[in-house]
Chains A and B, each alone.
Chain A
Amino acid sequence: MQERDLKVVNIKGLHLRAASELVKLTATCICKVTLYNGVIEVDGKSILGVAALGAAQGSMVTIRTDGEDEGEALDKIADLFGRGFYENEI
């Protein structure tokens, strides 16, 4: 199991379209992905779960990956957070 704290940098936060980008990525991962915001823990492969985190810009989210490709998965997720879920590219 690996864990990393990531910051939501994009303006709109983890809104539905961002959540959609995240789920698109986690769907390709073999490992289990969970997101935790200090209050609730949600399934990182469920778009409605991710959206229900209500993570706004500037908030911190703990990502936990557990399984075969956990390291690679975590790197990709961190990259996606860093890019702001392509929000500016849209």
Chain B
Amino acid sequence: MKRRFPMTIMFLFAIWGGISVFVGKTKVHDFDNLLRNKLLLIVGAFAIILGLGSLIFHHTQKIKRKARFWQYSYVTLIALAVTTFIGLGGGVRGERSLPTIFGGTVIGAHDGLVYVFTSQAEKNLFMDEPSRYADPTKAVLELPREFETDFNRFEASQLREEIHLKHTALQLKGQPIPPMISPVSNQQVAYKKEFKISLQQLYEGILVPCGSTMFAMLAFYMCSAAYRAFRMRNLHAGVLLVAAFIVMLGQIPLATAFIPGLHELRQWILDVPNLASKRGIMIGVGLGASATSFKIILGIERAWLGGGE
């Protein structure tokens, strides 16, 4: 039961998947779309809980056991909690409710008019039923046509910059400023200094530098390894080394600008021998992968069931 039942289910879904590839526009096709786009998506989404649970479990255990470097587990857990809090509370761009926006101005738009609110709650009320709460006399400015669709992606300060930019451009050209962007009184749209932490800022300020620097270190390791271990011990290693040198030199402007034909030679290596070797390997791997897939579906390969009964 504990092994056969999951294997049977797996087999049935595999049969369904196989059929779905070959049917035309029928009810089967429609249900397959539903299965893939909605139902399996929901099933798969729960896997994140598994990953998250394992991460939290690992670090709490580390702290509990006072394992080596356990103090750092606090950093991970706190960072996880704070990021999730900012993300769920503040939204990706800090557009959701407090408390991740401090002193920011909240703006909303309806029917081509822009309103400024004192709190996010006030804005939420307005956005839920704009026609009821919209009062044209309270609007601070008329929305330029191009912002109508654009509005949701603009933050308050961006919107102001855009209007200011357009304003200045027209002034410089000595053209009259059309009414749609002129009634911006500085008082009304005096945006307070914003201090806002959004998920996007955490992404650009923490995720991007950390992630890319970790991989950037590989450049140094690779240089060190190339110096110590890349030896021309036999013909095969020699061929590899020569091909590598040509490809490397053929891709830098400092070499291709001065050595005629180098760029073309690199291209030839990639186009002919490289292509043949990769195609050979690919066909082999493709056949192997297809065979393994069949073995899984037919229940011959059972590693996915894991250990236990």
A and B part of one assembly:
no
Q: B residues engaging A (CB < 8 A)?
A: none
- Which residues in A have some Cβ–Cβ distance to B below 8 Å? none
